Amino acid sequence: MTATSAKKSIPARRNSSSINRNNPNLFFNRELSWIQFNYRVLEEAARKDNPHLERLKFIAIAESNMQEFFMVRVAGLKQVVASSVNEVQLDGRTAEETLHEIHKEAHAMVALKYRLLEEITEALAREGIVIVQEGSELKQHEREFLQDFFNKELFRVLTPLAIDPSHPFPRILNGRLNLAVTLKRMDQKEKQRDSYAIVEVPTVFPRFLELPRDPENPESTERRFIPLEEILKLHAADLFAGTEIVSIHGFTIVRNSDLSIEEVSSDNLLSTIEEELKNRKWGEAVRMNYRKGMPENIRTFLRDRLDLMEDELYERPRYLNLSDLMEVYGNTSERSDLRDKPFIPKNPITLDKPRKIFSLIRKKDIFLHHPYDSFQTVVDFLQAAANDPRVLAIKQTLYRTSGDSPIVQSLIQAAENGKQVTALVELKARFDEERNIVWAREMERHGVHVVYGLVGLKIHAKLLQVVRKEEQEVNSYVHVATGNYNPSTAKLYTDTGIITADPEINNDVTNLFHTLTGYATVPRLSRIAVAPINMRETLTRLITREIQNAEAGKPAGMRLKMNSLVDPDMIVLLYRASRAGVNIDLSVRGICCLKPGIPDLSENIRVESIVGRFLEHSRIFYFENAGDPKIYTSSGDFMPRNLNRRVEVMMPVDDEDIKQRFIGILNAIFRDNHNARRLQQDGTYVAVKPEGNEQRFSSQRFFREETNREYQEKEKNRAVERKKIFQPLMNPEEEVPRETSLNRDIPEAQPVEPD
């Protein structure tokens, strides 16, 4: 990395009294910045150089993001407005003004999303993947198949709910797709009158049902899917026999889903959260999505019953709940021509004897850059510890993990092998509460000590420590990471991790675990920084030192990679560093409330965001430090919740080789002119493009190609070693056959696609 340094002529110290957290002109709105991030996700769906199925996937991701945003952030703003508290956002907007802007942007985003969806589904149809829109598009054999499916399976599951004085308005579940049905039926006086009913589309069947192949065209490879609600519409007459169907239109309700837990008064946090989860599906309605063409009287009826405002009603031109499109994406995995090409991560360590991993770690720290380095290394580390008779104890934090988690299974196995195993399970990990409760109970059943954290704090740190008896002493090994212990997301998120036997780091982690599980109030720390104890203070000291170095004419600069930048005090500190002449590069994937490039405030700050095949999730902090760079890796971002209300860990990187790896990552990130977008002064983002003779460069593609090169080199070396071993056993005059059992299992390196 080329050292970023102070300007040659240091500007005179300016009056900084106006640079404070109470000045709304210094900040972008948090919620509107998040919506800008979701627009960047949609841009990936719009890119013609992305394969068609990947574009469909980004539509589904954008839909899921907005769903969660309304369930949590918009719901929170509605509560603020209802409370009559005059709460002002960072940018000076009131909660009510922010809500108005959110709905304005969200309505525009819905229109864009469906325009892109139409373009993508038409492209997929040309490639033989068809999503049937209406019953009129069905072929005769498909109609027969659906009639059979409805009669034998779907009909028995459905429960139509009438709405009249004897049938109260049903409780509609959060996020579930429903059909509002208008009927004409005869009353006792033999007069026709309108009646209404609601049918919930069941979730026990696939949302997009695959239709059978055409028996008259067996050579066809076309695959056709139909939304489940369209099947219900086709056969609604069978469901409402003796009535006339006037209209059927889908709708969904988005409800407040943020848990409200009074931890101090809860004797049992596990039971409290289990009870609160039952209430999540019945929270206050914050949004209704409905299919275009819904009659005005039905729309008004639903709006009034749900106590929604007009701008909280979202008309959709096609099928709803677009996040379910992931079913189509997942069920067409054989179409590699329409997906990102496979990527094979490398495993930094290959072990013939699992216990050798401890001697390897003692010799040198192990650095992991996921998904380019396989998460299997972490799984192997834990499995080796679970089965090693010398291991005495294992301690781990679990914020989110996969459904069928090898991590949890290894912890259970370790406990059954007689080791002291402690798992700090964060029950309040939003939308993973139920899964974490299941795993917590399962681990407790097998003898794992399960701790649910601290009152008022979420445990977001990513730590795994193994304590082992070796020779005449007890040593420990710790894995410190930026990402969750989830093998599934580790294939999709970029994260970093370090496994080290460094005694000072391990002592700090041991003391932190004692604090989290016991009554110690403040752990003794010598190397790592921990939020909310001293992480903010450590970051403040590091940034202040860059300011002082710039003012003294010494090399000064920062390169900070994170997910979100919201904390006003940290933003103000970065502004002051910019005014002192410190050059600051920020890679902020999501929310950024800092305004870059403003003269006399942030002219030395550039902010970029990368959205690509992988979700950028790692946090890396680089400080120039007068030519002696300091690098830290962190589990938390520059957000009030990370610095004040969560347990986070920030660890210094001292190994020189690993330092160079981190510098290489940052160099690639800030060189990206393919997937990067640059934040402008007005809050919009503009794609970074090559300048002059500069070539297009994608950081994620660069790391994939680098991994493939290392993989090929490793396999080449393996082949050479095999030849050395087996050549003497063969006739010296004979050449080793090209196809032998010795090299047949060496896979050919996969080519890397353009992003």
Q: Does 5 score more than 50 pLDDT?
A: no
Look at residues 16, 17, 33 and name the one whose alpha carbon lies nearest to residue 91.
33
Q: What is the pLDDT of residues 53-94, one digit of tens each?
A: 999 999 999 999 999 999 989 998 998 888 877 778 999 999
Chain segment 128-186, per-residue pLDDT in tens = 999 998 888 899 999 999 999 999 999 999 988 888 766 677 888 889 999 999 888 76
As a whole number, mean pLDDT of residues 639-646 equals 95
Joined tokens for residue 25: 């002109």
- 610: left (phi > 0), else alpha (psi -120 to 50), else beta? beta
Per CATH, 356-527 and 531-697 having the same topology is answered yes
> What mean pLDDT comes out for the span 360-367?
95
- 744 or 368, which is more confident? 368
State the chain's mean pLDDT as an integer. Answer: 87
Q: Residues 675-682: what's their mean pLDDT?
A: 96
Predicted TM-score of the model (pTM): 0.88
Q: Pick the residue with more confidence: 442 or 326?
A: 326
Domain residue ranges in the chain: 104-257+284-338, 356-527, 531-697, 702-755
With a CB cutoff of 8 Å and minimum separation 6, the contacts of 723 are 736, 742
Determine which one of 369, 460, 617, 674 is catalytic. 460
Rounded distance, CA 245 to CA 241, Å? 10
**Length of the chain measured in residues:** 755
In this prediction, residue 718 has a pLDDT band, given cuts at 50, 70 and 90, of low
Q: Which of 86-95, 271-280, 391-400, 458-467 has the lowest mean pLDDT?
A: 271-280
- 548-592 per-position pLDDT tens digit: 999 999 999 999 999 999 999 999 999 999 999 999 999 999 999
Structure confidence at residue 272 as a pLDDT band (50, 70, 90): low
CA distances from 737 to 650, 717, 723, 734, 747 (A): 53, 17, 11, 8, 17
DSSP state of 343: -
Q: State the Rg of the chain over Cα.
A: 29
- Residue 598: what pLDDT? 95
Whether pLDDT at 519 is above 80: no
Q: Is the peptide bond before 532 cis (omega within 30 degrees of 0)?
A: yes
* For the ranges 250-259, 363-372, 431-440, the one whose mean pLDDT is highest: 363-372
Superfamily of 104-257+284-338 according to CATH: Polyphosphate kinase middle domain (3.30.1840.10)
* 438 pLDDT tier (thresholds 50, 70, 90): confident
- Split at pLDDT 50, 70, 90, the class of 362 is very high
Alpha carbon 733 to its chain centroid, in Å, reads 58
pLDDT, tens digit (0-9, with 9 covering 90-100), for 591-610: 999 999 999 999 999 999 99
> In this predicted model, what pLDDT tens digit does every residue of 179-188 receive, in sequence order?
999 888 766 5
What mean pLDDT do residues 612-638 have?
97
Return the CATH number of 356-527, one of 3.30.870.10, 3.40.50.2000, 3.30.950.10, 3.40.50.620. 3.30.870.10
Catalytic residue check, 514: no
pLDDT of residue 177: 96
On the question of pLDDT at 2 being above 50, the answer is no
Q: Which CATH number fits domain 531-697: 3.40.50.300, 3.30.870.10, 3.90.110.10, 3.50.50.60?
A: 3.30.870.10
